[in-house]
Amino acid sequence: MSNVRCRIAPSPSGFLHIGTAKTAMYNWLLAKSTGGTFVLRLEDTDAERTDEQYVQAMCEGFRWLGIMWDEGPEFGGEPERGDFGPYRQSQRRELHRGEALRLLSEGKAYKCFCSKEEIEAERERATQEKRPPRYSGKCRNLTPEQTAALEAEGRSFVLRFRVPEGETVIHDLIQGDVRFENKEYDDFIILKANGDPIFHLAVVVDDGHMKITHVIRGDDHLTNAGRHVMLFNALGYPLPKFAHHPLVLDEVGRKYSKRLHGANVLDWREDGYLPETLINYIALLGWTSEEANREFFTLDELKGLFTIERLSKSPARFDRKKLDWLNGQHIRRLSQEELRDRVVPILQKNGLDTGIKSEEWLTRMAGICQEKLPTLNHIVEYADFFFQDIAEYDAKSVLKLWKTDGAIERMRNIQQAMAAIEVWNHDTLKAAFEALTAASGEGLGKFVHPTRLALTGKPVGPGLFELTELLGKEESLARIAKAISYIESLGGTPS
RNA sequence: GUCCCCAUCGUCUAGCCUGGUCUAGGACACCGCCCUUUCACGGCGGCGACAGGGGUUCAAAUCCCCUUGGGGACGCCA
């Protein structure tokens, strides 16, 4: 058991963002690969943007991916776990306040009476004059008398951190040493006028008190890390190790916006992707295995292979095509039973009554589709004909396969051959079709494709003999008969 | 505007730290061919990159600098 403790500290804003998922997974992986502890802490300090429903939605994302926490808040009926709670930032307000006040008493923070409007105006002026927008430090050197006087006036104040002189270095596990001149930071607020802590204070206090040893997070926090290091030092907490990884970029290379489809990891569930696929893909979005030329990983395998050292410094774009490929790989790796269980609900959701078939039959159905499915959702396209009559035949295929000379004769031959089969299975069907081709001297495809059209209404799907066996003799013959009368109704055939 | 980070095929990357083994390897995508009942899978092959410029060095994708490009941060949001 190591003492590694890492955390994911998302702000519950509605759903689990793909970038948050990636950060969470790397932290989880570090914890799991070292026998450490993975903590979930909700950064719900911003009351206006927090809602229990958001928490639920986000945690469902984690749950789907299989990234569970060792310590975390009570949630969805489960009790709080861990000795460092509470795990909701909003419930740690007094601690944050206390630490802020401690900094104040130690002279490491000071009261600032500037109004929001003043600050904003200042910032605007700076931006217009193309200066960096920073707090002027106006209240930094207020005398105790001035402070008392302002307070007596009833002016509200915030607490600002007194940024020390010098330089701050972050020994980042991914980025290397990153140096900041402290001048680059203004005296940032740590406690709002209403007494709530500001993010920077809250994270540092919480990370400190929760004994977090490693902070892996997006490099949008790299500049914040400077503030945090100063705060850790001022508060007298030991410094955790930092690792800032690049953000997930969308397909055009921008920060993956939360408005984009796919920003929510559950969008992918919706689209028929396996959680295994997302795990694998997200891992690859910034990490490579030491073992060269390998892309397929399960969560469990990742657990054994993950090291921070193999995390990449450069940002990666999201590539849908590669995700699709990976999804196919993972689908093919499922057992037929697993695939069945994942695919049946999708059929049901699409109004197909799977209850009319046995479990065993559904397993076989999943099996014959397995090699073909790019996503789980494609099951509808590949197997709907098993559960309902054919509404219409694919027009293009009709033109190509049925609206031709000899189409009817061909179908009748097929009908005859099929009707004559006594033991109805893949092999006997195949033999019957082969006999047909032998007799006609034509390729197998000449018989297979029209039959597929008759049986499924489509040009694509599972292997014909497999599907026909599963459809059953009676139903298959009924559909062939129906197809023949349809072809007849087509009327004259062009030459 | 200021600061920070990044930079190898279209995309994800290996290699870079510890220069020579790199006429730069793999994967996705794309294009051929093969297998084949379509699609998919699989097999084989092809296309395709060290951003540019300066150094350092006998030797640079690998080290240094500049430029360019991309990203991020500058809230009483987190």
Position A291 scores a pLDDT of: 85
Taking C1' of B70 and every protein CA, the nearest residue is: A253
Mean pLDDT of the A364-384 span: 94
- On the question of pLDDT at A495 being above 60, the answer is no
- The A 427-456 residues near strand B by Cβ under 7 Å are 443-445, 448-449, 452
Report ipTM (2 d.p.): 0.93
What are the counts of helices (DSSP H) followed by strands (DSSP E) for chain A?
20, 11
Position A399 scores a pLDDT of: 87
Mean pLDDT of the A43-50 span: 70
CB A172 within 8 A of CB A243: yes
How far is Cα A9 from Cα A24, in angstroms, rounded to an integer? 8
How far is Cα A10 from Cα A231, in angstroms, rounded to an integer? 20
- On the question of pLDDT at A53 being above 70, the answer is yes
The CA-based dihedral angle spanning residues A446, A451, A457, A460, taken in that order and rounded to the nearest 10 degrees: -60
- What is the per-residue pLDDT across A240-263, written as a single tens digit (0 to 9) for each? 999 999 999 998 888 898 888 999
Give SS3 for A118. helix
Query: In terms of DSSP bridges, do strands A316-317 and A241-245 run parallel, antiparallel, or are they unpaired?
Result: unpaired
Other C-beta atoms closer than 10 Å to the C-beta of A49 total: 12
- The A 294-333 residues near strand B by Cβ under 7 Å are 295, 310, 312-317, 319, 321-322, 324-325, 328-329, 332
Position A50 scores a pLDDT of: 62
Compute the Cα dihedral for A168, A171, A176, A177 and give only its sign.
positive
Taking C1' of B3 and every protein CA, the nearest residue is: A184
How far is Cα A243 from Cα A170, in angstroms, rounded to an integer? 10
Choosing from A116, A183, A258, A349, the catalytic residue is A258
How far is Cα A164 from Cα A199, in angstroms, rounded to an integer? 19
Position A492 scores a pLDDT of: 54
Which helix (H) or strand (E) segment holds residue A160: the answer is strand A158-161
The count of residues in chain A is 495
Does the annotation mark A258 as catalytic?
yes
Per-residue tokens: A371: 């090699």
Mean pLDDT of the A93-115 span: 94
Kindly determine whether the C-beta of residue A192 is less than 7 Å away from any atom of nucleic acid strand B.
yes
Under the banding of pLDDT at 50, 70 and 90, the label for residue A324 is: very high
- The A 219-278 residues near strand B by Cβ under 7 Å are 219-224, 246-247, 249, 253-255
CA distances from A421 to A224, A413, A436 (A): 74, 13, 13
Per-residue tokens: A411: 């179908």
How far is Cα A23 from Cα A310, in angstroms, rounded to an integer? 15
How far is Cα A493 from Cα A405, in angstroms, rounded to an integer? 6
Look over chain A and give the mean of its residue pLDDT values, rounded to a whole number.
91
CB A235 within 8 A of CB A105: no
Kindly determine whether the C-beta of residue A85 is less than 7 Å away from any atom of nucleic acid strand B.
no
- Measured CA to C1', what is the nucleotide nearest A131? B1
Burial track A288-318 (b if 16+ CB lie within 10 A, e otherwise):
ebeeeeeeebebeebeebbebeebeeebbeb
- What is the per-residue pLDDT across A264-289, written as a single tens digit (0 to 9) for each? 999 999 999 999 999 999 999 999 99
Under the banding of pLDDT at 50, 70 and 90, the label for residue A46 is: low
Closest by alpha carbon to A190, among A163, A223, A152, A151? Answer: A163
Per-residue tokens: A176: 């290397």
Chain B: nucleotides below 7 Å from protein CB are 1-8, 10-15, 25-29, 36-42, 70-78
A38 Cβ contact list (under 8 Å, min separation 6)? A6, A7, A8, A27, A28, A31, A32, A69, A70, A71
> What predicted TM-score, i.e. pTM, was given to this entire model?
0.92
CA distances from A160 to A101, A116, A201, A350, A353 (A): 11, 13, 10, 57, 63
- The A 386-425 residues near strand B by Cβ under 7 Å are none
- On the question of pLDDT at A469 being above 60, the answer is yes
Kindly determine whether the C-beta of residue A138 is less than 7 Å away from any atom of nucleic acid strand B.
no
Position A332 scores a pLDDT of: 95
Q: What is the DSSP letter of A234?
A: H
Under the banding of pLDDT at 50, 70 and 90, the label for residue A45 is: confident
- On the question of pLDDT at A116 being above 90, the answer is no
Taking C1' of B26 and every protein CA, the nearest residue is: A293
Q: How far is the CA of A134 from the C1' of B74 (A)?
A: 8
- Measured CA to C1', what is the nucleotide nearest A183? B3
Q: How far is the CA of A219 from the C1' of B59 (A)?
A: 37
- On the question of pLDDT at A9 being above 80, the answer is yes
